[in-house]
Structures are given as structure tokens and as C-alpha cells.
Structure 1
Amino acid sequence: MGVPIRQAGEADREVLVQLLDRAFMQDPVSSWVFPDESHRRQVHGAFLGVFIDVALAEGRVDLAEDHAAMALWLDVPAGAPEEDGTPARMREAADPDNERAELVGRLTGELHPHDRAHAYLLMIGVIPERQGEGLGTELIAPVLERCDREGVPAYLEASSERSRGLYERLGFVFTGTAVQLPRGPRMWPMWREPRG
């Protein structure tokens, strides 16, 4: 396909927020965090903006030149993680009275492996009208190729059955313990060993 991709910076923040907001507006996890759709439309971008800020500050953001897709990556070192205030920042930025806005981050954090250094696909988003065209694979492939060259595993949490299938085709394997959101959907932690 050959989608032109570049690394995004702070100047792209608003484009990135709008892209993720559109990509995840109907996602099962976003719908659980913010069950009322009209309220979700008001606060969803602020919620997802925290992920973008973390990736811009501590990782990398790959953006399709046409702004149809993006991927947020972090390099996670081995060892016990430092205290991470990101879940609380997500809640404070978007919806301080909504415990779910923090709970989703705490529950995924509890299952995140830290025994080996790895590339963490924090989020990947494709605007709805372009989903199913292979843009996600185009964004992920260069990082997975680097992981393979350097012998580094990769990790992510799939938020839907559809995305889980995509990641399985790319070599990710379900770790065996799902994140079960209370009275809500599951998320599937997935690990990929480097190839070659």
C-alpha cells in the first residue's frame, strides 16, 4: 500500500486528538467509560488527549500524512514500573466525577508485564471511513520490523474482537488473562515475541 507516515510532534496535537476521538467514539471501551453518547462527545477528546501527551513526551507518535491513522508507542524498560499518575490524569482531564475514566487505566496497568523491556503500542486509531483498508498494519509494520531486528518483544491491549484478530495476524498472542471492565467489555492483553 505504501502509506506515507511521519513522526508527529507537539504542533500536531489537535489533529491527533481529533483523529483518536473519531476513531474511538464507538469503541466498546470508550462507550463503557462514557455510556451517554452526548456526554462522550463532549469529553472524549480530553480523555484521549492524555494518551497523546504521554506518547509525545515519552515515546513516539506515527501519523499517516493524510491524517487518517496514527499509532502511539512507548518503549517500556524491564523492572517494576514507577508510580504512574496517568489514570488519574485521564479522569481529571475528562470527567472528574467518573471513576471509570481512571479505572480503565488502573486495570490495564495491573496486567501490563514488566519482566522484559518491550515496545508498547499504547493506542492505534484509524478514522471510521478508512478502517479495514490496512492502514493499521502499515503503521505497525515498521515498528515490528525494528523489534524483530533488535530482538525486542511488543505488547498491546486489544479493545475489540476485530482489533484482536488484526493483532493475531501480526504475530501477537493473547496473554491468557483478559481485563474485565466491571459490567462492561473485555480487553485482551497481547504479547509478540520478536521474529528471526
Structure 2
Amino acid sequence: MTAVSTSVTVRRATRDDTDPLISVLAEAFFAGPVADWLIPDHDDRRAVYQRYFELVLHHGLEHGHVDTTIDLSAVAIWYPRPEPPRGTSPEHQVALEAATGVYAPKFTLLEAMFEAFHPREPHHYLAYVAVSPEQQGRGVGAALLNSYHRRLDAVGMPAYLEASNMRNRRLYLRLGYRAGPPLILPTSGPTIWRMWRGTPTATGPAAFPATEPLSRRRAR
């Protein structure tokens, strides 16, 4: 199904779109505090990101919902989360280590922290959204997300994401998200802003839901 928002045409991605969308993801996430923390060496980063985002995109196409634009300049990877996550599968961990090599410990830690502090309430999770550098700042990312937000609003379903920089955080606030308690990555890592887009209230965006580390939930 294709939806049009302003001048951006959004459609669901297919496996035929894999190569260009992997490049969009790798380029969009190449610079930034999380990238610097994960892989300080730029030459290594480029090679690892190509393999890592190939894994990410294939996983999204198989297990989630992937939207793109008609010109393949942007991509968003969503996952329905009707219940709390149950942990990383052994198969995924093997694939992650193969893709990221010596940098696997930090990638594993990042994914584990995201999972541990995930909201309990049913929602859809925006794992990744990326816009090619030459198209950034033109409203493409907002249009891509608004297309999916309309579907969520129609069924009263919240959305959740993690923002890795202040520019993106400001965009998500404009799109109706509310910031929650941040995560600070260890070993001098950057701050990650957890954000929730719930059903709007009379006073504005819905409050961020109460959360606790996954380990405590499992202990009960």
C-alpha cells in the first residue's frame, strides 16, 4: 500500500530494495556520538556498518515492517511489540558477532541495554529511521514517520524509539513524542533519549510510561 504525505511517497520496502537501503542506513548512521562510541576507526566503521546494516535490514524485512520512499532515499524499520521482548536469540547473536567482529561486545551491549529498558506496554518500536545525507533537512524523515503514525493512531497504538542525538530528539518531540529517562552508555559513551508517542491527552503528548530494567521484571 502506498501513502503520500506532502511531496513524499511512502511504500513498504521489499527485498528488491535491499542494496540501496543498506547504503542509506550505513551512510545516515556513519557520523554521530553512537558511531564514534561503537567504532572509533572510520575505515573499520564503513566496512562493519555495511555488514551490520545488511543484518539489520534483512531482520526487519523478515520480522518487522520496513517502509521506504519511492526514490529509496529513506527507510524506517518498525516492530510490533505486543509484549515485552524475550531476549536475543542465539542465532541473532552469532550473526551479530560475524557482522561486527572485534566490535561485537559494544554492539551486544547496546542491544542489551535497549532491550533491558524497553517499555512493558504494547506498542510499535521504531528501531531505525534513516535518510540519505543529500535528502536530510527536507522533511523526508518526518513524512516517512507520519505515514506510519497515522496507521498507529487509527488503532490507538503507541510508538517507542531511542534518539541518539539532540537534533533527532527535537524532531521526535515535534512529532508528538515525550522524552523519558535517558540511558547513558558505559565507558564514556553518549546519552540515548528514550521517547514515547502515546495517545494524546488534553494537555499534550501522553506521558512516558513507567519502566524498570528487564532483569527486575523477570525476577518477579
Do the aligned residues in 2 keep the contact of 1:107 with 1:179 (CA within 8 Å)? no
The residue number in structure 1 matching 2:98 is 92
2: CA distance between counterparts of 1:72 and 1:174? 20
**Structural mapping, 1:5-154, within 5 Å:** 5-78=10-83, 80-85=84-89, 86=92, 89-96=95-102, 98-113=104-119, 115-154=120-159
Closer, same or farther in 2 for the Cα pair 1:159/1:87, shift >3 Å?
A: farther
The residue number in structure 2 matching 1:191 is 196
Do the aligned residues in 1 keep the contact of 2:178 with 2:196 (CA within 8 Å)? yes
Aligned length: 194
Gapped runs of 5+ residues in structure 2?
Answer: 1-5, 202-220
Do the aligned residues in 1 keep the contact of 2:87 with 2:115 (CA within 8 Å)? no
Gapped runs of 5+ residues in structure 1?
Answer: none
Do the aligned residues in 2 keep the contact of 1:151 with 1:195 (CA within 8 Å)? no
Do the aligned residues in 1 keep the contact of 2:85 with 2:115 (CA within 8 Å)? no
1:2 counterpart letter in structure 2: S
1:94 counterpart letter in structure 2: T
Cα RMSD (Å):
1.7
2: CA distance between counterparts of 1:97 and 1:20? 18
The residue number in structure 1 matching 2:206 is none
Deviations 1:58-101 (Å, cap 9, x if unpaired)? 111111111211111111112x4222234663333222454112
1: CA distance between counterparts of 2:13 and 2:85? 26
Deviates more, 1:171-180 or 1:122-131: 171-180
1:136 counterpart letter in structure 2: G
Do the aligned residues in 2 keep the contact of 1:175 with 1:191 (CA within 8 Å)? yes
The residue number in structure 1 matching 2:7 is 2
2: CA distance between counterparts of 1:88 and 1:182? 24
Q: What is the DSSP-based 3-state SS (H/G/I as helix, E as strand, rest coil) of the residue aligned with 2:8?
A: coil
Give the Å deviation of 1:49.
Answer: 2.0
Give the Å deviation of 1:38.
Answer: 0.9
Structure 1 vs Structure 2: percent identity of aligned residues?
33
Closer, same or farther in 2 for the Cα pair 1:111/1:195, shift >3 Å?
A: same
Do the aligned residues in 2 keep the contact of 1:179 with 1:189 (CA within 8 Å)? no
Do the aligned residues in 1 keep the contact of 2:82 with 2:122 (CA within 8 Å)? yes
Deviations 1:103-156 (Å, cap 9, x if unpaired)? 11111111111x221111110001112111111110000211121111111000
Using structure 1 for the length normalisation, give the TM-score: 0.91
Do the aligned residues in 1 keep the contact of 2:8 with 2:140 (CA within 8 Å)? yes
The residue number in structure 2 matching 1:168 is 173
Deviations 1:145-186 (Å, cap 9, x if unpaired)? 121111111000001111011001111111123243431211
2:86 counterpart letter in structure 1: E
2: CA distance between counterparts of 1:181 and 1:172? 25
